[in-house]
């Protein structure tokens, strides 16, 4: 019998969360337990990468059990080339976040357990092939993130946590309405009730156009809030500013990806004609997010808020890639999801490091940190350069492909989003200049600035290594993604 590797990953995170939580008396053991239980899924996902047959297409490692028969709900898991990189990214980031949080000493066991619950939810979202199951995992993610922000967050954590919770919950509920509609509409063509993605997607081209437009709107709203897309982004800067570093890393690295993943996995295949009608809206919102996010970054004084706004800009690129409805655009969008996950993790970790060492993230108050923290400065520069799209790093490949696809699809409309490249370079280099270089600031106790600790350096080094590796050899990821797009494109082909 084949090993149910996907379920095993979920099970390990769940068991890990329970065990870690139970080790309340002993913070050290809780940390070690979290480390072990987050390492296992990561090793499993590496194993999965080696076993996945890139050329085969379709869903692999499929597991399927009937769960609630009377409603047609099944426990179906499976991964294709779109979800494989996301699963790997999730296990990797959670593992690194656990290491990076080695110095969390307030309710350590609960913190670590919540990271593992979060992993369970995120992995479930990327693996589920049943809309009902998908929604459950989608909602499971909210609870640990709510607690991570509200217990370990900054001064305004209470407000931010509730805002995050309610905002994204409303979005999920809109999505749930859309899922119900798909369920009943598909049943009228299939002749049986099923929440299974494959069952519903197989009849999706038959849905009426008005139905598709309305339901796509509901689903798109759900995903656009999560991504987040302008003008549904206002929860994000608040949540990021208050969240603890590990929370921010996972929020930006994984939770935002869920929104983008939802569009590619749910909205486009289930409602191809509706997507066609909404294309123009998607393009406009994507461009607005890209440009607005970048301009907002320039105005920020808080380093972390700047990184948060840059996420809005970069996730806008993902949406723009998807909205081209071309193979290269969608592939580049997925690649950008992966790239942004790696890069933004570095950036948020660096925000955490600076906050920790210097006591502030306020850009005007910082200065000359490179002299005192050379290693940290290197990581930060790599992160900034990768994020602004320096060739040779993973961000460049994604951004360049998206821009190319945009030109192919929409021609000179490209001129608007392409301005963001200049803005992005401007805010990163300007921020770098003000924080890392220049004279040592008097506002910060520079005598006692300590460079990064091992538990901070290790995850940063791994991430920077991967950023360069996949920047040099993007095919390592692209080879997974591209063969999987056939189904999505096949459905969109009718447009």
| Residues of the shown chain interacting with other proteins in the complex, contacts defined by CB under 8 A | 67-71, 132, 135-136, 139-140, 142-143, 146-147, 150-151, 158, 161-162, 165-166, 169-170, 173-174, 176-177, 180-181, 183-185, 188
The least CB distance from residue 217 to other proteins, in Å, is: 12
Contact 94, 141 (CB under 8 A): no
The least CB distance from residue 183 to other proteins, in Å, is: 7
The least CB distance from residue 52 to other proteins, in Å, is: 28
Separation CA 150–CA 405 (nearest Å): 41
**Phi and psi angles of residue 392, each rounded to the nearest 5 degrees, phi first:** 95, -10
Nearer to other proteins, 146 or 232 (CB): 146
Residue 97 contacts by C-beta under 8 Å, 6 or more apart in sequence?
115, 246, 249, 250, 345, 459
Nearer to other proteins, 166 or 284 (CB): 166
Residue 5 contacts by C-beta under 8 Å, 6 or more apart in sequence?
44, 47, 48, 51, 61
The least CB distance from residue 180 to other proteins, in Å, is: 4
Separation CA 89–CA 336 (nearest Å): 12
Q: Specify the residue for token string 């009426």.
A: 208
Nearer to other proteins, 180 or 400 (CB): 180
Separation CA 294–CA 288 (nearest Å): 10
The least CB distance from residue 80 to other proteins, in Å, is: 24
- With CA atoms as reference, report the closest residue to 300 among 288, 315, 312: 312
Nearer to other proteins, 180 or 407 (CB): 180
If one counts every other C-beta atom within 10 angstroms of the C-beta of residue 292, the result is 18
Nearer to other proteins, 11 or 177 (CB): 177
Nearer to other proteins, 52 or 67 (CB): 67
The least CB distance from residue 340 to other proteins, in Å, is: 28
The least CB distance from residue 99 to other proteins, in Å, is: 25
Nearer to other proteins, 131 or 480 (CB): 131
Nearer to other proteins, 93 or 161 (CB): 161
Contacts 24+ apart (CB under 8 A), 418-421: 419/291, 420/290, 420/291, 420/293, 420/294, 420/313, 421/388, 421/389
- With CA atoms as reference, report the closest residue to 121 among 255, 27, 319, 252: 255
As a whole number of Å, the end-to-end CA separation of the chain is 42
The least CB distance from residue 87 to other proteins, in Å, is: 21
**Phi and psi angles of residue 348, each rounded to the nearest 5 degrees, phi first:** -70, -35
């Amino acid at each position: 019998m084949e090993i149910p590797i996907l379920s095993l990953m979920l099970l390990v995170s769940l068991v890990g969360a329970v065990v870690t939580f139970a080790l309340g008396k002993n913070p050290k053991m809780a940390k070690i337990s979290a480390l072990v239980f987050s390492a296992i899924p990561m090793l499993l996902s590496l194993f999965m990468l080696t076993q996945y047959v890139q050329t085969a297409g379709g869903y692999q490692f499929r597991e399927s059990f009937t769960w609630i028969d009377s409603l047609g709900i099944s426990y179906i898991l499976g991964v294709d080339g779109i979800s494989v990189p996301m699963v790997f990214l999730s296990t990797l980031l959670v593992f690194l976040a656990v290491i990076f949080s080695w110095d969390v000493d307030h309710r350590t066991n609960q913190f670590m357990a919540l990271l593992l619950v979060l992993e369970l939810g995120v992995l479930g979202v990327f693996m589920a092939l049943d809309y009902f199951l998908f929604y459950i995992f989608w909602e499971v993610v909210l609870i640990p993130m709510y607690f991570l922000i509200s217990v370990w967050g900054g001064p305004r954590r209470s407000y931010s946590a509730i805002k995050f919770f309610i905002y994204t919950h409303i979005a999920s509920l809109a999505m749930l309405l859309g899922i119900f509609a798909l369920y009943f509409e598909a049943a009228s063509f299939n002749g049986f009730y099923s929440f299974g993605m494959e069952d519903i997607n197989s009849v999706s081209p038959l849905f009426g156009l008005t139905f598709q437009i309305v339901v796509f709107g509901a689903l798109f709203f759900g995903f656009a809030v999560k991504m987040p897309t302008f003008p549904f982004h206002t929860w994000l800067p608040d949540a990021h500013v208050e969240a603890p570093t590990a929370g921010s890393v996972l929020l930006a690295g994984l939770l935002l990806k869920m929104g983008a993943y939802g569009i590619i996995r749910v909205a486009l295949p289930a409602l191809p004609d509706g997507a066609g009608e909404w294309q123009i809206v998607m393009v406009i919102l994507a461009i607005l997010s890209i440009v607005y996010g970048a301009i907002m970054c320039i105005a920020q004084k808080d380093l972390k808020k700047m990184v948060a706004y840059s996420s809005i800009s970069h996730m806008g690129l993902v949406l723009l890639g998807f909205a081209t409805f071309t193979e290269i655009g969608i592939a580049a969008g997925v690649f950008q999801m992966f790239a942004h996950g790696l890069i933004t993790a570095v950036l948020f970790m660096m925000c955490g490091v600076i906050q920790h060492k210097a006591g502030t993230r306020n850009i005007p108050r910082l200065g000359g940190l490179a002299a005192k923290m050379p290693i940290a400065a290197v990581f930060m520069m790599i992160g900034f350069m990768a994020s602004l799209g320096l060739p040779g790093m993973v961000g460049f490949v994604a951004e360049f492909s998206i821009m190319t696809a945009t030109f192919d699809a929409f021609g000179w409309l490209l001129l608007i989003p392409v301005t963001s490249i200049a803005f992005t370079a401007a805010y990163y280099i300007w921020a770098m200049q003000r924080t890392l270089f220049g004279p040592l600031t008097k506002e910060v106790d520079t005598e006692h600035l300590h460079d990064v600790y091992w538990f901070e350096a290790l995850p940063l080094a791994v991430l920077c290594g991967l950023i360069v590796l996949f920047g040099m050899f993007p095919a390592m990821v692209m080879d997974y993604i591209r063969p999987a797009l056939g189904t999505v494109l096949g459905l969109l082909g009718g447009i």
